[in-house]
């Protein structure tokens, strides 16, 4: 494989020159191959590294490339939703995360982040029955309340709301 020059396009897919993207950060492991040559799993990992390091445009570009190859990839949809939420685009975030949940309803992290996006979008102090309605099992509810760090009394309120929303449509 040819060595990537500093003026070559960055292999992460950001569209920037390598010297203005991954090269200054020393991300040689990410710069070894173009994202089109990677498996989807490898591309997700590289995008997550960018995402966690705060390089959101690079992460977003890779998630978009994954979705071009596999439009219903739940992790790419969910993580792109996280970037949208971080950019203040909560409506887009909710749409992407909801789609990820429809494709893979068994991942509790998707529900947690969707709840957070809904909470921010509606400026809630606590998640409402709209969010509770999205949770279908107490196991997922337990994970969410633990992750959100809710005190025990809020868990009781959530359980009441869950029971109430099961019997009523909102």
- How far, in Å, CA of 70 to CA of 34, rounded? 17
pLDDT value at position 9?
72
pTM of the model: 0.56
pLDDT value at position 13?
60
pLDDT value at position 32?
38
Closest CA to 117 of 142, 80, 151: 80
CA 151, 154, 155: angle at the middle one, nearest 5? Answer: 90
pLDDT value at position 169?
43
Across the strands, what pairs with 9? Answer: 17
Please answer whether residues 98 and 108 qualify as being in contact, where contact means their C-beta atoms are separated by less than 8 angstroms: no
pLDDT value at position 154?
58
pLDDT value at position 158?
59
pLDDT value at position 39?
86
- How far, in Å, CA of 84 to CA of 150, rounded? 25
| Coil, strand or helix at 124 | coil
Give the residues of the chain that fall short of pLDDT 70: 1-6, 10-14, 18, 21-38, 121-170
pLDDT value at position 17?
74
């Amino acid at each position: 494989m040819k060595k990537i020059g500093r003026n070559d396009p960055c292999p992460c897919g950001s569209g920037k020159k390598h010297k203005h993207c991954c090269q200054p950060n020393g991300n040689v492991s990410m710069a070894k191959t173009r994202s089109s040559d990677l498996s989807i799993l490898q591309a997700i990992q590289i995008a997550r590294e960018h995402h966690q390091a705060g390089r959101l445009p690079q992460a977003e570009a890779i998630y978009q490339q994954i979705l071009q190859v596999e439009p219903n990839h739940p992790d790419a949809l969910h993580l792109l939703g996280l970037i949208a939420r971080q950019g203040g685009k909560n409506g887009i975030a909710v749409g992407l995360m909801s789609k990820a949940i429809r494709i893979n309803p068994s991942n509790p992290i998707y529900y947690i982040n969707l709840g957070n996006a809904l909470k921010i979008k509606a400026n809630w102090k606590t998640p409402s029955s709209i969010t509770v309605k999205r949770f279908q099992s107490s196991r997922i509810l337990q994970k969410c309340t633990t992750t959100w760090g809710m005190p025990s009394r809020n868990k009781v309120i959530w359980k009441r709301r869950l029971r109430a929303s099961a019997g009523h449509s909102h």
